[in-house]
Amino acid sequence: MCPVLSSQGLNQNWQELYKAALFETNRGKIAERIAEAERVIAARARDLFKEPADMIEEQNALDDALYALHALKGCLIWRDARAAA
């Protein structure tokens, strides 16, 4: 579990974890990396919801990141199913 982070720290952290999930080459770790990135992205989205300022650009980036992680999971599931067939 990640330590408590400031808004700025959480912002940088989600981006780092997102990139780590996208570029993970170890098949045994990729699901864990994706789950961790999704968790931190969701936490950042909750933080932004509470912010009085308009943070639409980062909100869009969070949405895009979650979409990409979902697509990556789908590709991995498809590849695993194909390999098992």
Band of pLDDT at residue 79, cut at 50, 70 and 90: confident
> Which residues, other chains included, contact 69 with Cβ-Cβ below 8 Å and sequence gap of 6+?
18, 21, 22, 34, 37, 38, 41
Tens-place pLDDT, residues 49-75: 888 888 899 999 999 999 999 999 999
In a domain, 46, yes or no: yes
Whether 22 shows a pLDDT value over 90: the answer reads yes
Query: 54 or 19: whose pLDDT is higher?
Result: 19
36, 21 Cβ separation under 8 angstroms: yes
Q: Which residues span the domain enclosing 52?
A: 7-84
In a domain, 15, yes or no: yes
The count of domains in the chain is 1
In a domain, 51, yes or no: yes
Whether 78 shows a pLDDT value over 80: the answer reads yes
| Joined tokens for residue 19 | 């990139």
> Which residues, other chains included, contact 20 with Cβ-Cβ below 8 Å and sequence gap of 6+?
33, 37
**How confident is the model at residue 2, as a pLDDT?**
46
Q: Is the dihedral of CA 38, 42, 43, 47 positive or negative?
A: positive
In a domain, 1, yes or no: no
